Amino acid sequence: MSKGVLLVNLGSPDSTDPKDVKKYLGEFLMDPRVIDVPLWARTLLVKGIILNTRPKKSAEAYKKIWWDEGSPLIVLSERLQKKVADRTSIPIGLAMRYGSMNIKKGLQELHDKGVNEVMIIPLYPQFAMATTETILVLAEKLQKEYFPNMKLIDVPAFYNKPEYINVLSKSITEKLEGIEYEHLLFSYHGVPERHIRKSDISNGNCKMDGKCCFKKGSEQHKFCYRHQCEMTTVQVAKKLGLKNGTYSTSYQSRLGFDPWLKPYTDRTIERMGKEGIKKMAIVTPAFVSDCLETLEEIAMEGEEIFHEVGGKEFTTIPCLNDRDDWADLLANWVNEWVAVKTQTA
């Protein structure tokens, strides 16, 4: 077998033109693992309502964070891909779940290089139906349809792997060196609570009551996004020696009127400012690359909310992006997998 890797991130529109944003959002939000209602209802909601109003507003937001080279999420993912490729000896591809750099193209490029065993690495530390699962399901479908002789290997969520926690903790320490802060907020992308129930393999284990996601036992939490986010916070807090009450977890970027994971980030930032916190820092561990949700929603909107209610210093910690130690870590996982071949060949 000839091995290769496909790194997969979420994707971005081709440009900040509302037409491109509409096309991208259409593909993203029509994914049944993102808006998980029956097709007729999803079509009505997405094509009948959201796509008529949101693209213009989202395009304005994208304009605020767009770089000369393109979408930060794509550019940063490409830089990471290059660094991982420099540290490994097999082809390292990059694809996006939505948009032009799609998974089919990514698999095709690897196939054209003679690769017939692909390790799929979703660039998400925590498992979610709307991210990891949709990538793996689509990759498998494409493999069956177009690449019947290709074998796909999945990488489990790495939300609690010590080496990942080390790199994330180091990125926080480096940014906060010499900076005073009273509270460190860990803000994760939210999902509707319903998604947690749907992915709950223990049938009802997850009560979202603030207790069950802290229970020991990895098997029942294998697909619990909430547990995995909470555990990333717990592990990093332990590593950094943070005292109880000086850090917390919240969830951002909700869409629609269903209940999403709580507490909500915007309300948490507001509450903290109102309670008299003057200096806060915020880290966004559900994202490995800075993107609209970190650069605009947190670094711009979040800061504005904090200042409006009396907060003074709002420090945002960059995502892992193309940090050398993050590229080293991914490359180590790849090289360990490559070594298995050598031993069994």
Ligand X SMILES: C=CC1=C(C)c2cc3[nH]c(cc4nc(cc5[nH]c(cc1n2)c(C)c5CCC(=O)O)C(CCC(=O)O)=C4C)c(C)c3C=C
Per CB under 6 A, residues contacting ligand X are 10, 12, 25, 34-35, 54, 58, 71, 73, 124, 128, 130-131, 189, 191-192, 253, 255, 286-287, 291-293
DSSP string, 207-241: --SSSGGGSS-SGGGTT-HHHHHHHHHHHHHHHHT
Binds 124: which of ligand X, Fe ion, none (CB < 5-8 Å by kind): ligand X
Residue 302 φ/ψ region, left for φ over 0, alpha for ψ in the -120 to 50 degree band, beta for the rest: alpha
x/- track of binding to Fe ion for residues 40-79 (CB under 5 A): ----------------------------------------
213 binds, options Fe ion, ligand X, none, Cβ within 5 to 8 A by partner type: Fe ion
Residue 291 interacting partner from Fe ion, ligand X, none (CB closer than 5 to 8 Å by kind):
ligand X
Q: Smallest distance, Å, CB 41 to ligand X? A: 14
Residues with Cβ within 8 Å of 306's Cβ and at least 6 positions away in sequence, in order, are 269, 270, 272, 273, 280, 314
Phi–psi pair at 264, nearest 5 degrees:
-80, 140
Is there a contact between 87 and 44 (Cβ–Cβ < 8 Å)?
no
Tell the smallest beta-carbon distance from residue 90 to ligand X (Å): 26
**Identity of the residue, 212 or 283, whose beta carbon is nearer to Fe ion in the bound complex:** 212
- Is 60 annotated in a binding site? The answer is no
> Of 150 and 206, which has the nearer Cβ to Fe ion?
206
Q: What pairs with residue 211 in β-bridges?
A: none
Gap between the Cα atoms of 177 and 172, Å rounded:
8
Place of tokens 């490029």: 109
Q: Name the residue nearer to ligand X (CB basis): 90 or 165.
A: 165
| Residues within the interface to Fe ion (CB under 5 A) | 206, 212-213
